[in-house]
Amino acid sequence: MDLFFQQLINGLSLGALYALIAVGYTVVYGIVQLINFAHGEIFMVGAFGAYATWMVMGQPANLSVGMALGVVLPLMLVGGVVSSVVVALLTERVAYRPLRNAPRLAPLISAIGVSVFLQEFVRLFYGTIPFVTRIPGWPDAKSAVPFPSISGISDASVQIGGVLVQASALFTLLALVVCTVFLWFFVNRTKTGRAMVATSQDPDTARLMGINVDRVIVAAFAVGAGLAAIAGVAHGLRYGNIDFRMGFLAGLKAFTAAVLGGIGNINGAVVGGLVLGVVEALASNYLGTTAWKDVWAFALLILVLVFRPQGLLGAKVVDRA
Amino acid sequence: MNTVIPDRIKIAYRYPARAVGAAGALLMLVSIFLPWAYGTAALDDMSYYGAPSPLQLCFGVLALTVLALLTIPLVGKQRLGKWAKVLAWNTTAKTASITALITAAIAVTSVAVELGGLLNVEIGGWLVIFGGVAAVASTLFLPDSPEPSLDEVKSPKWLQILAIVVLMAVALFAAAFALGQVDAGAFLTFGSFLVAVVMVLRQFGVFGWLGMAAAANNRVLVISAFVVAFLFPFTQNGSNANMSIAAQVLIFAATALGLNIVVGLVGLLDLGYIAFLGAGAFTAAVLSESAYSHFNFHPPFIVTVLISGLVASLLGLIIGAPTLRVSGDYLAIVTLAFGEIFRITMNNLDGNDGPDITNGSNGIPDIPDLNAFGFNFGQPHVILGIDIGRFANYYWLMLLVIALIIVVFTNLNHSRIGRGWVAIREDELAAEAMGVNTFALKLLAFAGGAFLAGVAGAVKAHHDVSVTPDQFIFLESAFLLAAVVLGGMGTVMGVLIGATILKLLPEKLRFFSDYRLLLFGLLMVVMMRFRPEGIVADERRQLEFHAEDEELAEEVEEELITHKAHLNPEREVFEL
């Protein structure tokens, strides 16, 4: 039974990671009906942005828990969020906005292009001033980069009965809770949030009511990118390293989570992420070997799309094909 | 091309501009007899006086073109007769100078890069740039020509056929010459020259006429294209390097043509298409006589090909039947997920995580060469005194496969099924309301496309000698999609061009192999932004991307109803 609970907690923390990324897919899809294929890369950029912040701070190591959790980690989060948001808004401006009235295929293909471009850009130019010089002391992103360890998270764990809970898992879960509360507040209590809901329900009417739809779309991309960046940091703390490819699989899983919960539905993304994480953790333990865990996740995606395309909590179903 | 220079000034200075431009062209012509580089290692050795290298001769062609375009109209409108009206002299002169200057800049930059510094550029190199700048600057002062209307000139049939055959022969020669360039700078320069020639011909109106001739003599075009493609190995003198690339290009192109049915005709975005190629390749590998295959059933190749195709299309049915009911975006992600499932499964069928079929990540090596029709594909042989190597054999086999695919594709495209597909792409609900069985047709496209990929995969397994799961990653699917998008969705010609560009350029330009994917990503974004219909545009498709373009809409409509083949007398001509 301990094993079951251990896998459950592993699954929940993994699921929290997926959920944080999935929100970005769902918010953007709800408003512009675009699968932002490059969202996984925004998550990756967030992790690298946080790492860059740590480098700029002078690679602080062996700090007291208070310093690490009170100063270094928050600054890294801010750095990650800023870089993700900037990159996301740039891609929206350059690659998606000009294609808003194009046939559906165009923005999706453009998004694939952005995804490949961002991966390669980080691989080639991280730690350099492009085409000029390498920045001394900075690592090369061509292979995995070890993520800095944060005292109090990277090295700590809690033992509950027979279940060992890593502090990084708690951090991810806590981040999800905080972000969910923030999102709820943002969507229901702020003007921009309500404008977002209105736009996703009916963009034309929203425009007639005086909502600046372009601004709402930018806000959606920014919110999604911010949460993805937090997930990026959580990923770094959980696995101990980051690499330029990490966005692909994580993005795909997070999209699965978004569809599982019902795409366009923010609560659905959170629930879908948690369910997907738990299913993946349990399935890899009880069905075959761990080598098959990704297969179960994707099989779940296909099953959901076939039998319940509106997802667990119900999607805003748009069929513009 | 609209310039900022007002018409008043253009008309006032038209003769001086013409003179300066002609002088610039003359300078370019002179420069090819002068050395361009101090070293012999750059491009194709441009260091001699009085003996132009082949690439310098290319510049000679461009310079003469500019010169001719600027001087011939001086003969006068009366004596030129109808040619004055139907050809776009001035605009073409401008295009020719600009492309010549760009090509010269590429050549000179290559010299500088390959020899280490601009100091190594000799007098001729500077002269050609100077002449190019003069020609470009002065042609900007020429009044714009009206759109060329050469396609409306009546021409005898023999001339059209002759033109097509000559064009194909030139294409063969150019392709052989381009592939013969081992130097990256030389390859780039020649590529730029080819682009220049194509743009000049298009601007001049020759392409419009050729397009008309090609449409009128479609069969001649297709047959001569295949004859040329068939003859290509004979130009390689037994060299395997280029034939290997050519065979890979054809395998890639055949797969892309299959994807073209699914994406281009039916409008279903498939992001896991490489899995079907993989299914075909693994099936062929398992059924081959490789010592690493765990099966004891080794049918002849023709059976293997059929089984590979069937296995792939079975997978297509399995993935398609449940998911084709969901809409476009979802389908893209489901197929992507399926592609990943396929790759991971092939990785896991290694005896540890599952039954041992594919040897896991090691894949199946040592696949013997094909032995079909009493003919061993691994054996080199001599035809007409020219060595034909192993890769040429596979090249011809793939050529045959592609010919079959094209026949099937065009016939389907013009049949009830093809019209149903296009109807689904344009508006699925309307198609269904009109009685099109959308589900069955989509499933047919999916399974049919998968079959083609499976067949290509079977050849690929033997051609590559080994099959491993990591050949079938998502990026490969993205490349296939890019070939279709880049070339032009729904067209055969476009997809062939797209596949060639995407496979050939990275092979030839190894020096920037590190930036290959970066540029690829950028290209996809830029393409979608500025020319989403691809290099060769399917006209109906083009209209989809430019819905507001009334002129294009009328053109397409007109073309659909009737082909116009008379000279339009009311055309305005801007004269000298």
- Best A32, A93, A110, A118 member to test B by mutation, with max B CBs in 10 Å, is A110
A259 interaction partners in chain B (CB closer than 8 Å) = 330, 333
Mind listing the pLDDT tens digit for each residue in A21-37? 999 999 998 888 888 88
The residue of chain B nearest to residue A301, with distances taken between CA atoms, is B334
Distance, in angstroms, between B545 CA and closest chain A CA?
6
Is B353 in Cβ contact with A116 (below 8 Å)? Answer: no
| Within a domain: A129 | yes
B338 interaction partners in chain A (CB closer than 8 Å) = 298, 302
- Give the highest mean pLDDT range of A287-296, B154-163, B331-340: B331-340
| Within a domain: A257 | no
What are the helix and strand counts (H, E) for chain B? 24, 4
Helices assigned H by DSSP within B39-122: 54-71, 77-80, 83-86, 89-115
Residue pair B494/B487 in contact by the 8 Å Cβ criterion? yes
Residues in contact with A294: Cβ distance below 8 Å, sequence separation at least 6, in sequence order: A249, A253, A280, B340, B341, B344
**Residue B205 confidence (pLDDT) above 80:** no
Select from A116, A121, A305 the Cβ nearest to the Cβ of B478: A116
Distance, in angstroms, between A109 CA and closest chain B CA?
7
Structure tokens at A161: 């009965």
Select from B353, B481, B485 the Cβ nearest to the Cβ of A292: B353
Is B344 in Cβ contact with A116 (below 8 Å)? Answer: no
Q: Position of tokens 């300078």?
A: B27
Distance, in angstroms, between B501 CA and closest chain A CA?
17
User: Can you give the pLDDT at residue B540?
Assistant: 61
CA distance B309 to B427: 30
CA nearest neighbour of B87 among B180, B3, B200: B200
CA distance A203 to A183: 21
User: Can you give the pLDDT at residue A117?
Assistant: 93
B347 interaction partners in chain A (CB closer than 8 Å) = 291
- Best A105, A119, A310 member to test B by mutation, with max B CBs in 10 Å, is A105
Is B332 in Cβ contact with A35 (below 8 Å)? Answer: yes
Structure tokens at B72: 């011939």
| Within a domain: A116 | yes
Written as one letter, the residue type at B537 is A
CA distance B275 to B457: 10
Select from A116, A292, A301 the Cβ nearest to the Cβ of B517: A116
Mind listing the pLDDT tens digit for each residue in B491-542? 888 888 888 888 877 777 766 677 888 888 888 888 888 877 777 766 666 6
Distance, in angstroms, between B337 CA and closest chain A CA?
6
- Best A97, A298, A316 member to test B by mutation, with max B CBs in 10 Å, is A298
CA distance A142 to A122: 8
Select from A95, A105, A248 the Cβ nearest to the Cβ of B525: A95
| Within a domain: A5 | no
**b/e burial code for range B519-546 (CB count within 10 A of at least 16 → b):** bbbbbbbebbbeebbbbbbbeebbbbbb
CA nearest neighbour of B100 among B48, B127, B126, B135: B135
Select from B329, B348, B515 the Cβ nearest to the Cβ of A292: B348
User: Can you give the pLDDT at residue B385?
Assistant: 64
Is B333 in Cβ contact with A102 (below 8 Å)? Answer: no
Is A95 in Cβ contact with B528 (below 8 Å)? Answer: yes
The residue of chain A nearest to residue B523, with distances taken between CA atoms, is A113
User: Can you give the pLDDT at residue A307?
Assistant: 80
pTM value is 0.82
Distance, in angstroms, between A70 CA and closest chain B CA?
38
- Best A35, A112, A252, A318 member to test B by mutation, with max B CBs in 10 Å, is A112
Is A113 in Cβ contact with B520 (below 8 Å)? Answer: yes
Select from B319, B330, B524 the Cβ nearest to the Cβ of A113: B524
**Residue B574 confidence (pLDDT) above 60:** no
Distance, in angstroms, between A31 CA and closest chain B CA?
15
- Give the highest mean pLDDT range of B205-214, B247-256, B556-565: B247-256
All structural domains of chain B: 7-230 (no CATH), 242-509 (1.10.3470)
Structure tokens at A312: 């667990």
- B473 band by pLDDT with thresholds 50, 70 and 90: confident
User: Can you give the pLDDT at residue B535?
Assistant: 75
Structure tokens at B368: 């013997």
User: Can you give the pLDDT at residue B127?
Assistant: 78
Residues in chain B: 576
Residues in contact with B73: Cβ distance below 8 Å, sequence separation at least 6, in sequence order: B80, B84, B89, B90, B576
Mind listing the pLDDT tens digit for each residue in B399-425? 888 888 888 887 887 788 888 888 888
Mind listing the pLDDT tens digit for each residue in A144-195? 888 888 887 877 888 888 888 888 899 999 999 999 999 999 988 999 999 9
Is A113 in Cβ contact with B521 (below 8 Å)? Answer: yes
Give the largest CA-CA distance in chain A.
59
| Within a domain: A106 | yes
Is B529 in Cβ contact with A99 (below 8 Å)? Answer: yes
Residue pair B164/B217 in contact by the 8 Å Cβ criterion? yes
Lowest pLDDT segment from B14-23, B159-168, B383-392: B383-392
Written as one letter, the residue type at A128 is T
Is B481 in Cβ contact with A35 (below 8 Å)? Answer: no
Please report how the helices B390-413 and B416-426 are oriented relative to each other, as an axis angle in degrees rounded to 10.
80
| Within a domain: A110 | yes
Distance, in angstroms, between B327 CA and closest chain A CA?
5
Identify the three-state secondary structure at position B37: strand
| Within a domain: A266 | no
**Residue A16 confidence (pLDDT) above 80:** yes
Is A306 in Cβ contact with B323 (below 8 Å)? Answer: yes
Residues in contact with A286: Cβ distance below 8 Å, sequence separation at least 6, in sequence order: none
Is B330 in Cβ contact with A299 (below 8 Å)? Answer: no
- B81 band by pLDDT with thresholds 50, 70 and 90: low
CB pairs under 8 A between A and B: 138
**Residue B139 confidence (pLDDT) above 80:** no
Is A302 in Cβ contact with B524 (below 8 Å)? Answer: no
- Best A29, A32, A117 member to test B by mutation, with max B CBs in 10 Å, is A117
Is A120 in Cβ contact with B518 (below 8 Å)? Answer: yes
The residue of chain A nearest to residue B337, with distances taken between CA atoms, is A298
The residue of chain B nearest to residue A263, with distances taken between CA atoms, is B330
| Within a domain: A13 | no
Q: Position of tokens 């050849």?
A: B459
A103 interaction partners in chain B (CB closer than 8 Å) = 532, 544-545
**Residue B280 confidence (pLDDT) above 60:** yes
Higher pLDDT, B5 or B419: B419
| Domain coverage including residue A193 | 18-244
Q: Distances in Å between the alpha carbon of B253 and those of A179, B248, B475? A: 47, 8, 16
Structure tokens at B239: 């060299």
Give how many domains chain A has, as a whole number.
1
- B556 band by pLDDT with thresholds 50, 70 and 90: low
Identify the three-state secondary structure at position B386: strand
Q: Mean pLDDT for chain B?
A: 77
Distance, in angstroms, between A264 CA and closest chain B CA?
13
The residue of chain B nearest to residue A108, with distances taken between CA atoms, is B329
Is A98 in Cβ contact with B529 (below 8 Å)? Answer: yes
Is A104 in Cβ contact with B328 (below 8 Å)? Answer: yes
User: Can you give the pLDDT at residue B151?
Assistant: 65
Q: Distances in Å between the alpha carbon of B135 and those of A119, B62, B247, B530, B546? A: 42, 11, 41, 28, 34
The residue of chain A nearest to residue B476, with distances taken between CA atoms, is A116
CA distance B415 to A133: 59
| DSSP assignment of A4-27 | HHHHHHHHHHHHHHHHHHHHHHHH
The residue of chain B nearest to residue A321, with distances taken between CA atoms, is B328
Distance from chain centroid for Cα A235:
10
Distance, in angstroms, between A301 CA and closest chain B CA?
7
CA distance A13 to A285: 16
Distance, in angstroms, between A114 CA and closest chain B CA?
6
